[in-house]
Amino acid sequence: MSPFWLNFSRYLLRSLSVLLLSAPIVILLISLQTGATVSPAPDLTNSEISRVQQLLLESAPSTPNNPGMHHVVLTHEELNLLLRYGVELVELSTPLAADLSFAEEALTTRLSVRLNNTFIPLYLNLRAEFQQADAQLDLQALYLGNLKLPDRLLRYLRQRIQNQYLATNLYYQDFSELLSNIQRVNLTRDLVDVELQWEPALLDRIGDHAQQLFISEQDRLRIIKHYQILSSVAAQIPENRRAVSLNEFLKPLFTAARENSANGSDPIAENRTLFQTLAIYVNNEDIQQLLGEFEDANLTPARYIEVRLLRRQDLAQHLVSIAAITASAGAEFAELLATTKEAYDARYRSGFSFSDLTANIAGVALASLATRDVETAILMQERLSNLQNETDYMPEVGSNRDGLSETEFNAIFQDRNSTEYQYRVQEIEEQVFSRPLFTIF
């Protein structure tokens, strides 16, 4: 071959290589648009948040700890409301809007992401079209802006992602198992009707893995240190003591957190992981729920002893659990879970409890301040390491009327949007924030 054709071949091969490698970038660039196909939704109103809570309550089985078949029906409007709440809850730094629309046996989801804050805005608009196929939804088409990905390219990408990245992924395996539990999906223009096998153990495992996904290696190291301190405290409690105050653990844990912060550790991360670790212990759960495979058999399980608040184990569990959720996922999500659980208890279990609600409000306040900013996080470490009484952060609850059934609750308050109920919640919040721990905030 002549030098000319040899050089030309090399040039052509190099050009093709560059073209292939840059193809995804080129596709992305030509799919950008200056307008959003989905307009950003306004912030949810109080009545809409109450509706989200009601949807969660109505979608949950009456006996969530027992496996069995479960049936869920949601309308187009209800699904989009839940989607709006999820987008608002995540609080992404990049503005995002999404919606769902239905046809017979088909679902279309649209997503708009604003990529800049310049005078001329740029949006990435995506549209995915799904078709009902037996008990699953099959992705039929994917659009980037007005550009439809070729079917062969879509099949290739799906296959490659599944084989290369998802096949051995623990979280994807859980999700696949969850999808396999769906026995029937029926899509119409107005609603989606799903029948699935409810498996509490699988849902617990998915929850644990999801939590681990957001725990960094540094946070795992912090959790191990917190757990070792907690284990040491538990080992020193006399064998004949049946239960101890929550303060028995809060004080030494926050003392150590304050020392770690003074030595350069992030005080917000210290406080967040402290609440996560303490919640595992107070609820008598396995610390591996947080650590996953990071820590195998090197961490000896702490001796368990019942932890109480105002002489009640349930109040300690409520306060610490909601504090851990607040520190990890934010106050808004924690408050939604707390009120939904009380509504669930009113319908199916022990009844609505204003005492539990008080502990929840105190836990949200405690964790919100402890993770708000560096200065406040350090101040809370100092205060919590010098606790004197449980009432420093938790009001007495002896005068509360607890155990209200759903019927009794509705007879008194109508619903959680009523003036009477909001006044009662405001009263509890004022009681919590009048505690010495919160007085200067």
User: Which range is most confident: 27-31, 76-80, 196-200, 267-271?
Assistant: 267-271
Structure tokens at 388: 């004197």
Q: 3-state DSSP call for residue 355? A: helix
What distance in Å separates the CA atoms of residue 14 and residue 82, rounded to the nearest whole number?
A: 49
User: What percent of the chain is modeled with pLDDT above 70?
Assistant: 86
Residue 361 has pLDDT above 90, yes or no: yes
* 237, burial (CB in 10 Å: exposed 0-12, middle 13-18, buried 19+): middle
| Cβ-contact 302, 281 below 8 angstroms | yes
User: Which range is most confident: 88-92, 164-168, 295-299?
Assistant: 88-92
pLDDT score recorded for residue 4: 43
Q: What would the mean pLDDT of 204-231 be, rounded to a whole number?
A: 84
pLDDT score recorded for residue 8: 44
Biggest alpha carbon distance in the chain?
Answer: 98
What distance in Å separates the CA atoms of residue 81 and residue 88, rounded to the nearest whole number?
A: 11
The DSSP letter of residue 382 is H
Over residues 40-85, the pLDDT tens digits come to 888 888 888 888 888 888 888 878 778 888 888 899 899 888 888 8
What integer best gives the mean pLDDT of the chain?
Answer: 83
Of the candidate ranges 19-33, 71-85, 291-305, 350-364, the one whose mean pLDDT is the lowest: 19-33
| Strand ranges for 134-233 from DSSP E | 136-144, 147-148, 182-187, 191-198
Over residues 260-295, the pLDDT tens digits come to 999 999 999 999 999 999 999 999 999 988 887 655
* Contacts for 89-96: CB closer than 8 Å, 24+ residues apart: 89/329, 89/330, 89/332, 89/333, 91/330, 95/40
pLDDT score recorded for residue 16: 47
pLDDT score recorded for residue 165: 60
Residue written as tokens 């019927």? Answer: 407
What distance in Å separates the CA atoms of residue 217 and residue 138, rounded to the nearest whole number?
A: 36
pLDDT score recorded for residue 389: 96
| Cβ-contact 182, 194 below 8 angstroms | yes
The H or E element containing residue 349 is none
pLDDT score recorded for residue 318: 93
190 alpha-carbon distance from chain centroid: 28
Over residues 228-257, the pLDDT tens digits come to 999 999 999 999 999 999 999 999 999 999
Residue written as tokens 């009048």? Answer: 434
Over residues 7-19, the pLDDT tens digits come to 545 544 554 444 4
User: What percent of the chain is modeled with pLDDT above 90?
Assistant: 36
Q: Tell me, what amino acid is at 390? A: E
Q: What does the DSSP assignment read for 252-305?
A: HHHHHHHHHHHTT--HHHHHHHHHHHHHHHHTT--THHHHTTSS-SSSPPPPP-
The H or E element containing residue 44 is none
User: Which range is most confident: 88-102, 110-124, 424-438?
Assistant: 424-438
Residue 23 has pLDDT above 70, yes or no: no
Q: What would the mean pLDDT of 309-333 be, rounded to a whole number?
A: 91
Of the candidate ranges 298-307, 327-336, 420-429, the one whose mean pLDDT is the lowest: 327-336
Least Cα distance to 187 among 111, 128, 131, 109 occurs for 131
pLDDT score recorded for residue 235: 95
Residue 197 has pLDDT above 90, yes or no: no
Of the candidate ranges 133-137, 164-168, 282-286, the one whose mean pLDDT is the lowest: 164-168
What distance in Å separates the CA atoms of residue 359 and residue 147, rounded to the nearest whole number?
A: 52
**How many residues comprise the chain?**
441
pLDDT score recorded for residue 240: 92
More confident residue, 112 or 295: 112
pLDDT score recorded for residue 337: 77
pLDDT score recorded for residue 208: 67
Backbone angles phi, psi at 108, to 5 degrees: -120, 130
pLDDT score recorded for residue 164: 67
Of the candidate ranges 2-11, 253-262, 428-437, the one whose mean pLDDT is the lowest: 2-11
Least Cα distance to 366 among 254, 282, 224 occurs for 254
Number of neighbouring beta carbons within 10 Å of residue 224: 19
Q: What would the mean pLDDT of 171-176 be, rounded to a whole number?
A: 70
User: Which range is most confident: 28-37, 210-219, 365-374?
Assistant: 365-374
pLDDT bucket at 345, cuts 50 / 70 / 90: confident
Residue 33 has pLDDT above 90, yes or no: no
Helix spans in 147-197 (H): 151-161, 170-180
pLDDT score recorded for residue 264: 96
pLDDT bucket at 227, cuts 50 / 70 / 90: very high
345-368 CB burial, b ≥16 within 10 A, e <16? bbbbeebbbbbbbbbbbbbbbbbb
421 alpha-carbon distance from chain centroid: 26
Q: 3-state DSSP call for residue 46? A: helix
Q: 3-state DSSP call for residue 394? A: coil
More confident residue, 45 or 21: 45
